[in-house]
Amino acid sequence: MKVKTKSKKVNKAWLNDHVNDPYVKLAHREGYRARAAYKLKEIDEALRLIKPGQVVVDLGAAPGAWSQYLRRKFAPQGAATGELDGSIVALDLIEIEPIEGVVFLQGDFRDEEVVQALEVRLGGRPVDVVVSDMAPNLSGIGSVDAARVTHLVELAVDFALRHLQPGGALVCKTFHGSGYEQQAKLFRESFRIVKPIKPKASRDKSSETFLVGLGPKQP
């Protein structure tokens, strides 16, 4: 019974924080599906990664907030609908509600069938930016969760190195803790410039951070 009571208290505290979160309120006002949109917005504004006319792939896209942000960056006056100057391909294991102008592929990008579908959508064009907000289902066991996070980072880096144009960029979510240094080392080995960023929109209590790799190194 004590565990259940504690769990209820934790859930109530989280819900209270969530409801009163300024980014949650802002996302609601501006029509974003999640506060995560502002994390990508901060990273983009700091590094000026996203420009009209680009080809961008959004890995782990659900519920679609990052693709929404990308879509508005490619639209005149930041419109959520209408004209679009750029290409966005979003991938996730779970389906997302359609976003006008965004091509969505449901499946695992490690599967050959999904990769082939992506290649068709890209039409031979190199990718300018890969963004990954992927996160694993957490078990609560530190070593297991760290290994799962590292695996997703490795997958995102491998994907980016195979698809990015020479001046391209990868934005990848990770977490400080066991495995982070290994991930940062992989980024340094894979990209000419590496920048770790903790956006203000990322909750203070969270160990979440983002690694940005600029200019993939040629094998």
Tell me which residue of 27, 25, 34 sits closest to 97, measured CA to CA: 34
* Residue 217 falls in the annotated catalytic set: no
Token pair listed for 89:
């391909």
- Cβ(174)–Cβ(213) under 8 Å? no
- Tell me how far apart the alpha carbons of residues 3 and 105 are, in angstroms, rounded to a whole number: 40
Token pair listed for 182:
């290994």
- Tell me how far apart the alpha carbons of residues 173 and 171 are, in angstroms, rounded to a whole number: 7
- Tell me how far apart the alpha carbons of residues 82 and 78 are, in angstroms, rounded to a whole number: 10
* Residue among 173, 200, 205, 217 flagged as catalytic: 173
- Tell me how far apart the alpha carbons of residues 135 and 130 are, in angstroms, rounded to a whole number: 15
Q: Known catalytic residues?
A: 173
